[in-house]
Structure 1
């Protein structure tokens, strides 16, 4: 049996585009001679759908899309993720489900058991855990199909009481297949490899793991789908931060090789918190691997935020400092120089080199910019406030007037021409409260909001 993995970028609620992509993936798999093509968790509607699943029309649309897709699942099997109705009276109204489509019919339905309710996840709010467990039989093979978190209940202190694969093993499956929507973090690739390999060695079955890619506002999915053979060998690690399609031969993945040995006491990581332990924190956060991944994650995040929101042009304030410089460079990389506008807004307190640095960066990157002095605006504020401020010494209030003046100018241009304002504050500033409300904290997207200051410097060197 030949199995294809379709690692795609979906758009929450954009059923037309998601359907188009899935059908294109099916046609690609057919051309490759695949018997089965695997997509990702909730690919029909996009992940995470959150409160959209509370609307009946949204769920009806999911089922309509499944009906459309199954017309293309004639000679090929298709595994897709979608919300599914819970027909029992007990429990929540929906399952997080996988449908097996073949011969233009729904041949099987699997429900997610482990519903994360931590960090960026809130699935237990919407979905009911699976009531039962079964394999999907397809072309003489028994498929142990799980969904994302279902394979993450490992280690010495598991979060859940049930491990789905333990429920599936009595059915003697031939292969493990996981449909996932697993977001990026510094260590996620390491942990994923550990989780998949540990499953293969424990259950003595090959495993295909298909993860989504793309950004949904504040969450970035990095792809990196995995395939391990029955001997615990990594056959393929698919592309990161971009779509990818690959084909695998299950017979080859299932060939046992007694000569393959794994070191005793081999280290496995079951959570991101375990990775990097014992290393210098600063060195770990700024190492070459992490900075490369952060760069690609931010570029993908910016690009998808704009395209999925229906915008194309960004504006930001260019101060000549490192934060705005890195934000500007990332925006140009993601959107193109023709779609980025920088406003230089010096006051009488701005140094000449900060202005010249900002101008030079704009010339280097090739994006449009304007130099708008805020001196007169700032002075008019002080004149207006003179009866209140009297002769008190200048301080924080005056500094913040400058930041808020810049914020007003940026938002005025953004509103006038349909730009999205990019915030340039970094995580270190946000963590310490170093910023001005309605000033330099203004913006529709905080590009560096999850990037520490030293990582900003490392990103600047990366360019």
Structure 2
């Protein structure tokens, strides 16, 4: 059988555009005498569509294009993922019954699963963790089997295709069906026990995260080897979002043979059409065209994924110009590089906005960055405007109140940040018919080390899922491997990280941020990203028994060097935990959309409530015993 893998870019809730992409690939496949073309999960409607699934008109449009796809199937078999609708039944929310499903168009019609009587095959497992919310909209095979008083396997059968007078029995699974290790039902394994298959397909719409590809390869290789049936894993590319959090889909479609052979059949973050011959006797899939395999270097994956996601976001949102507040620091420098590579340097405007607290070193570094990137550059001082704001505040007198304003150091710092973001950058970007970026990193976002409506403002947070150490690593990678020159000035990389908002943050005196990134990156990560998310109770116990550094992953001995006494450790721990759970959460829900590339990104992936911070009873008891 000659098979094509249609790894295409999927656009959320846009059947028309997705259908046109499908049609183009089908026509190519027909030209190459392909017998079967396979497309990813939800390739027609998109996957992360929010509550668009509640619109009847959208569902009917999906059905319209299902039949348009069948019209393309007279010379080829077309397998694609979409929403299956049963207008005669309801979901548990009272809305029309919807399934995440596999459709097969053949000879001008849709094949039917005789076990369900429906013209599609139903996804067995629906994820409801991280960004996934499938059970909000879809019914799965397990629920349907309960409703029909049978087992899930009783509602499944392989799809049978006749190719050149030979029957091929194809196993059908969708994304999560392959990630079943934490479920009680294991679809591919169970289907294989009852039926003989020539191969399985796993149609996926699987968002990218760093390191996921290696985990995926290990998982599907193991399943294929165990059931002794090869698997075609078919993923999409593109960008989809859940409002607050933006995900890239990396493709990386792969053929897993039953003897542990792995064949790359889809490029990394690129649309591609892989064509090859599947031999049912030896279970080999031989590609006819070259598909480039990704090298799996984490920092390179970081670079490729961020550039791709930014590019597709800007295309979909029709954004052509970006303004960046270039401070001379590492975060704004990396943002400038990312947007320049996507939009072209002529469309990325760098603006330095110094006050009396900004050093000549960082001002010169900002200028040098613009020169290296060849970006439009200007400098606008804010000293007069912030002093004017301070004067205005001091002159305010409320009627019916004797309250006296306290313009503290912190308030004055926030005035500076808001003058830059809320006043100058927003006005400048609007005047240029563009937008401005938020340059916050994940470390800052975790503990709210940023100013609402100031440096936390912007249309997008491109590096807000990167810890500070990642920002440095990626910046050096651009210099050393991509540009092979000092595009990000060395002084930007070497200078102590600092907001430069008061005299105590003078970088020329090596005074900077209160966050010790070599330690706090790892501590904060243990609160946010660890599977067993750590709390102050865990951290204090580990500090006392000497295992904290290994638990969070920082350099051995670092925590004791920074905090030689338990009192100093507790002061630091409580300061940042209270910020993380308190004001940090309040700020995060108002932050711009975040590009997700790690296992736990802020936004919809890290669901939280705004409330008062507190410590567990166990922690307070332990702390009290230490005081005694």
| Shared fold, TM over 0.5 | yes
Q: Which moved more, 1:386-395 or 1:428-437?
A: 386-395
Give, in whole Å, the separation in 1 of the partners of 2:296 and 2:387.
Answer: 46
Give, in whole Å, the separation in 2 of the partners of 1:180 and 1:392.
Answer: 56
Query: Residue in 1 aligned with 2:343?
Result: 335
1:366 aligns with 2:389: no
Q: Return the offset for 1:346.
A: 1.2
State the Cα deviation string for residues 43-76 of structure 1 (Å, max 9, x = none): 1011212211110011111111122222212111
Q: Return the offset for 1:418.
A: 2.7
Given that residues 216 and 304 in structure 1 are in contact (C-alpha distance below 8 angstroms), is that contact kept between their aligned partners in structure 2?
A: no
Give, in whole Å, the separation in 1 of the partners of 2:410 and 2:378.
Answer: 27
Q: Return the offset for 1:391.
A: 10
Given that residues 169 and 199 in structure 2 are in contact (C-alpha distance below 8 angstroms), is that contact kept between their aligned partners in structure 1?
A: yes
1:435 is aligned, of 445, 450, 462, to 450
Q: 1:137 to 1:237 in 2, by over 3 A?
A: closer
Query: Residue in 1 aligned with 2:233?
Result: 209
State the Cα deviation string for residues 164-205 of structure 1 (Å, max 9, x = none): 123422121111101101111122111110121111111111
Give, in whole Å, the separation in 2 of the partners of 1:377 and 1:436.
Answer: 18
1:319 is aligned, of 314, 327, 337, to 327
Q: Return the offset for 1:415.
A: 2.6
Gaps of 5+ in 1: 257-286
Query: Residue in 1 aligned with 2:223?
Result: 199
Given that residues 205 and 254 in structure 1 are in contact (C-alpha distance below 8 angstroms), is that contact kept between their aligned partners in structure 2?
A: no
Q: Which moved more, 1:294-303 or 1:370-379?
A: 370-379
Q: Return the offset for 1:393.
A: 7.7
Give the length in aligned residue pairs. Answer: 429
Q: 1:303 to 1:28 in 2, by over 3 A?
A: same
1:240 is aligned, of 268, 272, 278, to 268
Q: Which moved more, 1:413-422 or 1:96-105?
A: 413-422
Given that residues 213 and 243 in structure 1 are in contact (C-alpha distance below 8 angstroms), is that contact kept between their aligned partners in structure 2?
A: yes
- Give the TM-score taking structure 2 as reference length: 0.66
User: Aligned to 2:111, what secondary structure does the other structure show?
Assistant: strand
Q: Which moved more, 1:25-34 or 1:112-121?
A: 25-34
1:94 is aligned, of 94, 98, 106, to 98
2:186 is aligned, of 154, 163, 168, to 163
1:111 is aligned, of 106, 112, 122, to 122
Query: Residue in 2 aligned with 1:84?
Result: 84
RMSD of aligned alpha carbons: 2.0
Give, in whole Å, the separation in 2 of the partners of 1:20 and 1:111.
Answer: 25
Gaps of 5+ in 2: 113-119, 145-154, 285-294, 397-402, 479-628
1:122 is aligned, of 113, 133, 145, to 133
2:160 is aligned, of 137, 153, 156, to 137
State the Cα deviation string for residues 128-178 of structure 1 (Å, max 9, x = none): 002321211112111101110001112xxx2x2222123422121111101
1:289 is aligned, of 297, 300, 304, to 297
Give, in whole Å, the separation in 1 of the partners of 2:254 and 2:26.
Answer: 19
1:21 aligns with 2:21: yes
Query: Residue in 2 aligned with 1:397?
Result: 411
Q: 1:253 to 1:303 in 2, by over 3 A?
A: farther
Given that residues 42 and 100 in structure 2 are in contact (C-alpha distance below 8 angstroms), is that contact kept between their aligned partners in structure 1?
A: yes
Q: 1:334 to 1:323 in 2, by over 3 A?
A: same
Give, in whole Å, the separation in 1 of the partners of 2:231 and 2:20.
Answer: 27
State the Cα deviation string for residues 411-458 of structure 1 (Å, max 9, x = none): 112233331221100000111221111100001111111000000000
2:355 is aligned, of 347, 355, 361, to 347
Given that residues 206 and 229 in structure 1 are in contact (C-alpha distance below 8 angstroms), is that contact kept between their aligned partners in structure 2?
A: yes
